[in-house]
């Protein structure tokens, strides 16, 4: 069945969990373990058009994060979250169902970024949700890239939610001119938040007392974590996010950005993985 943009999507329903993944951006937009509430936030106002990003789910940011440092005209968060990817495989296995989609560099991507690459997004929907994002350098020269799995978690009320796991970690506060700060204790949300935690491979716990759950997020080959909520004022600037939706989302993004940018030699792969596990509080 096509999604709201008319693009193919994969709908998964297994004894362990249900989920959805779209060819549009190879974007997961739903994961719901059996007997539990939806884990992933998706905006009611999301755009569903090729060339536009879907607000919510797990967008893939590559090969730069936020604005392109040397070209403000370039699309935010890179060139692949707005594209239609190629279905690769659908496997049933002991862990659930694994869906794979890929995309290669082409004339469109080279308009903004000269290097050649092959990307593979493999997602296993089961008791856990596991994402394996592979970047392959298919060119003849090394390249440097940023990446993020820009996960939107559904929140009962972000003002009551907390993130554990980044105590003592240095971050750049994008709300405050990217000033360098140090995290003390758990992350609480009292205003617009846009923080890039650097040099950290720590697991996280997203604690949600309103939904009475915590989400354990483990990651590999990711040295940055971004935490974001636009708050009311930020939500007003986003046409694809309802003014009453911001309290029900928070982003915690396994990434490699800024000083954690990755250098990749020709014919080499870099694989970043994220595994989410839902636990009652
Ligand atoms: O991940 C946080 C962030 O980089 C914020 O700066 C904010 O811009 C957000 O991503 C959403 O970006 P988007 O381009 O999807 O509107």
d(CA 189, ligand 1 centre) in Å: 17
Residue nearest to atom 12 of ligand 1 (CA): 66
Which segments of 18-164 does DSSP mark as H helices, in order? 107-112
- Taking only the tens place, the pLDDT of each residue in 48-62 is 998 999 999 999 999
Ligand 1 atom closest to Cα of residue 174: 6
Mean pLDDT of 177-185: 98
| CA nearest to 21, candidates 37, 52, 42 | 42
Find the residues whose C-beta lies inside 6 A of ligand 1: 53, 66, 76-77, 150, 174, 194, 226, 228, 251, 253
Ligand 1 mean position, distance from CA 205 (Å)? 21
- Gap between the Cα atoms of 38 and 33, Å rounded: 8
pLDDT > 90 fraction of the chain, expressed in percent and rounded:
96
Is this structure's pTM higher than 0.85?
Answer: yes
pLDDT(278) > 90: yes
CA of 230, closest atom in ligand 1: 7
**pLDDT tens profile 81-102:** 999 999 999 999 989 999 999 9
The per-residue DSSP string of 74-106 comes to SPTTBSSTTSBPEEEEEEEETTEEEEEEEEE--
Q: What is the mean pLDDT of residues 248-266?
A: 98
Q: Contact at 8 Å (CB) between 22 and 11?
A: no
Query: 8 alpha carbon to ligand 1 midpoint, in Å?
Result: 25
Mean of all residue pLDDT scores within the chain: 97
* HSE, side-chain direction, 13 A CA sphere, residue 149: 32
For residue 85, give every residue at least 6 positions away whose Cβ sits within 8 Å of its Cβ, in sequence order, or none: 23, 24, 25, 26, 101, 102, 103, 121
203 touches 165 (CB < 8 A): yes
Q: What tens digit of pLDDT does each residue of 19-43 get?
A: 999 999 999 999 999 999 999 999 9
- Between the CA of 255 and the centroid of ligand 1 the distance, in Å, is 13
Q: What is the pLDDT of residue 208?
A: 98
Q: What is the pLDDT of residues 202-229, one digit of tens each?
A: 999 999 999 999 999 999 999 999 999 9
Whether residue 95 contacts residue 125, with contact meaning beta carbons closer than 8 Å, is answered with no
Are the CB atoms for 117 and 57 separated by under 8 Å? no
Tokens of 147: 């990446």
Q: What is the pLDDT of residue 4?
A: 86
Q: Whose CA is nearest to atom 14 of ligand 1?
A: 76
d(CA 55, CA 240): 6
Structure tokens at 267: 């014919």
**Is residue 1's pLDDT more than 80?**
no
What is the C-alpha separation between 205 and 192, in angstroms, rounded? 20
- Give me the pLDDT at residue 37, please: 97
Going from the Cα of 67 to the center of ligand 1, the distance in angstroms, rounded, reads 9
| Whole-number Å distance between alpha carbons of 38 and 9 | 18
Q: Which atom of ligand 1 is nearest to the CA of 253?
A: 1
Q: Which residue, among 256, 235, 255, 258, has the nearest Cα to 247 in the 3D structure?
A: 235
Q: Distance, CA 228 to ligand 1 centroid (Å)?
A: 8
Atom of ligand 1 nearest to the CA of 59: 15
Q: Which atom of ligand 1 is nearest to the CA of 55?
A: 15
Helices and strands: H and E segment counts in the chain:
2, 22
Pick the closest to residue 163 from 78, 100, 228 (CA basis).
228
């Amino acid at each position: 069945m096509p999604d709201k943009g008319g693009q193919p999507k994969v709908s998964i329903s297994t004894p362990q969990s249900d989920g959805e993944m779209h060819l549009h951006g190879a974007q997961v937009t739903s994961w719901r373990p059996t007997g539990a509430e939806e884990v992933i936030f998706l905006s009611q106002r999301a755009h569903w058009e090729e060339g536009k990003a879907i607000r919510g789910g797990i967008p893939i940011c590559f090969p730069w994060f936020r604005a392109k440092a040397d070209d403000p005209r370039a699309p935010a968060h890179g060139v692949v979250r707005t594209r239609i990817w190629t279905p690769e495989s659908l496997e049933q296995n002991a862990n659930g169902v694994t869906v794979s989609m890929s995309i290669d560099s082409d004339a469109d991507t080279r308009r903004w970024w000269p290097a050649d690459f092959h990307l593979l997004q493999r997602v296993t929907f089961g008791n856990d949700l596991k994402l394996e994002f592979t970047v392959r350098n298919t060119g003849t020269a090394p390249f440097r890239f940023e990446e993020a799995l820009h996960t939107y978690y559904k929140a009962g009320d972000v003002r009551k939610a907390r993130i554990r796991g980044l105590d003592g970690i240095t971050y750049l506060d994008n709300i405050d001119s990217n000033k360098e700060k140090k995290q003390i204790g758990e992350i609480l949300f009292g205003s617009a938040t846009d923080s890039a935690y650097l040099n950290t491979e720590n697991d996280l716990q997203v604690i949600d007392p309103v939904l009475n759950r915590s989400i354990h997020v483990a990651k590999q080959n990711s040295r940055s974590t971004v935490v974001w909520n636009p708050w009311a004022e930020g939500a007003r600037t986003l046409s694809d996010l309802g003014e009453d939706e911001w309290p029900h989302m928070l982003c915690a993004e396994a990434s490699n950005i800024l000083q954690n940018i990755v250098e990749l030699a020709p014919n080499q792969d870099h694989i970043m993985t994220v595994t989410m596990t839902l636990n009652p509080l």
